[in-house]
Amino acid sequence: MQPAIPSVDDLIARARDLLPTIRQRAAQTEANRRVSKETGDAFAEAGFFRVLQPKRFGGYELPFGTHMKIAAEIGKGCASTAWVGSVIAVHSWIVGMFPPEAQEEVWGTNSAALIGTSFLPAGVKVERVANGVIVSGRWKFSSGIDLCQWTIPLIELPAKEPGGQSELGLALIPLADCKIEDTWYVSGLAGTGSNDFVVENLFVPEHRLIAISSLKGGKTPGSAINDGPFYQLPLWTFFPYALIGAALGATKGAVEQVVEGLSNRKAISQIKIAEQQSVQLRIARASAQVNAAEALLLQDLQEVNRCAEAGRIPDLTERLRYRLNLSFAVELCGQAVDTIFPLLGGRGLVTTDPVQRAWRDVHAVQQHIALVWDVTAGLYGSVKLGFPCADAKI
């Protein structure tokens, strides 16, 4: 029986209810370098992982961007936890674009199965064989992999015919066939457990392979059974919405906590810091920066969902504009935490301070290649000036 589908507002309210617990666990999450099973179970119970999962497998198929909005709420307490929740949720969207047989393998007997990814192969070998490929190698930065049962690594798909061209693709493999290695020692988003996984001589059947070129907008192998509009959205254009919610939430939380901390704080000279106009201007600027970032993201998501419902695929210029705005929004979040960081004083040096953690986490989100301003702005600017797009995935 299909469970009742909650509204977006219901899910955000559930995230808000979980926020005190998430905030309380944040320091331990960072120390453990991964999100706990207890938190993962709470997210599953709240339905956060089902927001983009196909309805035929117990998912909700809510408007695209719901995962970002949930992450923006959770991120006020812990960006690492928000990141993991949002990233795992968006992977159900990706699996929903795989061939039906692959979807059945993932969710047919366990509709609660969770999926990880890695788009950073390191020394991977792929050999074409009858009815599939043999894969060996290592993949890095697989966020939340300890909570998952499957993973989607990026691979180079060999040509099926002699003399043909290879192309980028995705494979879908059980984590039972992988070895997870504990490699995640970082300064930001330290609690995401973004460890490596290794595969040796693993056969991946053809139905669990998909070319990136078939995920650039329009009908996908999975849309044959999933008629929800966002299973035809271009993957590489919209995947970064799974990343930015953590930065947005962490920035909001940092501003709130700095304001709260300044209310009764005095310097050694007994001057009330909150009364200083320079301090007030910093709070105002940071607030405006995060408000602008959120407004830009929400405006674009409204447009994206209208396009999806109408069956219209954004053209290249539009796709690059969405990516540009995503990068600019995370730039604004980085500027906001930089604006308020000097107000911490000496306590800003303490790694366990929640605002200090948020500052590191927001800058870590900025480092994701899908959000790096120089890369995204360069792509947009070159196409705007009449040059071809250098990223074939978009």
Q: What is the DSSP string of 125-165?
A: EEEEETTEEEEEEEEEEETTGGG-SEEEEEEEEPPSSTTPP
pLDDT in tens, 17-37: 999 999 999 999 999 999 999
By C-alpha distance, which of 258, 237, 328 is closest to 289? 328
274 compared with 361, residue with greater pLDDT: 361
Based on the domain organization, do 12 and 71 belong to the same domain? yes
Q: What is the pLDDT of residue 163?
A: 84
Residue 336 confidence (pLDDT): 98
Q: Determine the distance from the C-alpha atom of residue 86 to the mean position of all C-alpha atoms in its chain, rounded to a whole number.
A: 5
* Per-residue pLDDT at 51 exceeds 90: yes
**Residues in contact with 139: Cβ distance below 8 Å, sequence separation at least 6, in sequence order:** 118, 120, 121, 122, 124, 151, 153, 154, 196, 197, 198, 199
Q: 113, 142, 168: which is the final residue of a domain? A: 113
Q: pLDDT band at residue 294, thresholds of 50, 70 and 90?
A: very high
Domain boundary among 56, 84, 113: 113
CATH number reported for the structural domain that contains residue 343 in this entry: 1.20.140.10
Same domain, residue pair 94 and 132? no
193 and 154, same structural domain? yes
pLDDT tens digits along 134-153: 999 999 999 999 999 999 99
Torsion over CA: 209, 212, 215, 219 (sign): negative
In this structure, are 105 and 136 located in the same domain?
Answer: no
- Picking from 370, 369, 350, the residue whose alpha carbon sits closest to that of residue 360 is 350
Residue with tokens 């812990």: 78
Separation between Cα atoms, residue 231 and residue 204, nearest integer Å: 23
Q: What is the pLDDT of residues 68-86, one digit of tens each?
A: 999 999 999 999 999 999 9
Which among 81, 158, 50, 171 is positioned nearest to 118, based on CA atoms?
171
Sign of CA dihedral 106, 45, 40, 370: positive
Dist CA 177 CA 150 (whole Å):
9
> Does 58 lie in the same domain as 131?
no
pLDDT digits (tens, 9 = 90+) for 94-127: 999 999 999 999 999 999 999 999 999 999 999 9
Task: Using the 3D structure, point to which of 59, 91, 113 is the last residue of a domain.
Answer: 113
Same domain, 90 and 148: no
> Is residue 197 a contact partner of residue 138, using CB atoms and an 8 Å limit?
yes
Residue 167: half-sphere exposure toward Cβ, Cα within 13 Å = 15
CATH number for position 22: 1.10.540.10
Over the Cα atoms of the chain, what is R_g?
21
> Of the candidates 327, 190, 347, 365, which has an alpha carbon nearest to the alpha carbon of residue 257?
347
Q: How far apart are CA 2 and CA 46, in angstroms?
A: 16
Categorize the per-residue pLDDT at 1 as very low, low, confident or very high, splitting at 50, 70 and 90.
Answer: low
| Contact by Cβ (8 Å): 167, 221 | no
Q: Cα(324)–Cα(332) distance, rounded to whole angstroms?
A: 12
Give the residue numbers spanning the domain of 181. 115-214
CA 152 to each of CA 26, 102, 217: distance values in angstroms, whole numbers, following the listed order: 27, 12, 19
Does the pLDDT at position 332 exceed 80? yes
Non-local (6+) Cβ contacts of 16 within 8 A are 73
pLDDT score at 267: 62
Identify the band that residue 174 occupies on the pLDDT scale cut at 50, 70 and 90: very high
